[in-house]
Homo-oligomer: A and B are copies of this chain.
């Protein structure tokens, strides 16, 4: 019988970084007993985002941070600057990546590839409490 369940995951961040939480998503799916279904992750913020990326080479993360800094640099050219120089670039980086992700569950396991990790992509400088809503539908 198909069921739906949800939970809120809380993640603390310390400045611009990719914060892996694959293990927490995997554990929640395993606990559910769902064999075939779909996991959806949704970040409840507009200055941080979600991303699936390679979890093998740590330099990939440095290059990702540099890349999005280059595409959305800090500077005096933004109309919205009341919340600090890193705020509008953070919204732009979020707009270029993902607010949500979805991953099929097959035979009780997330269908992630061998090198795929799930990351919360923090774009602000100050420490933040972030929330990710998780939804699992399946049977």
A: residues with CB less than 8 A from B are: 1-6, 8, 36-38, 40, 42-47, 51-54, 57, 59-60, 62-64, 66-67, 71-72, 77-80, 82, 88, 91-92, 94-106, 111-113, 115-116, 131, 133-135, 137-139
Once the chains bind, are B4 and A91 in contact (CB under 8 Å)? no
Tell me, rounded to whole Å, the shortest Cβ–Cβ distance linking A130 to chain B: 10
Copies of the protein in its oligomer: 3
B115:A46 contact, CB within 8 angstroms:
yes
Residue pair A106, B91 in contact (C-beta under 8 Å): no
Q: Given A67-B72, A135-B38, A139-B4, answer yes or no on A91-B44 (Cβ-Cβ < 8 Å).
A: no
- Is there contact, CB below 8 Å, between B104 and A102? no
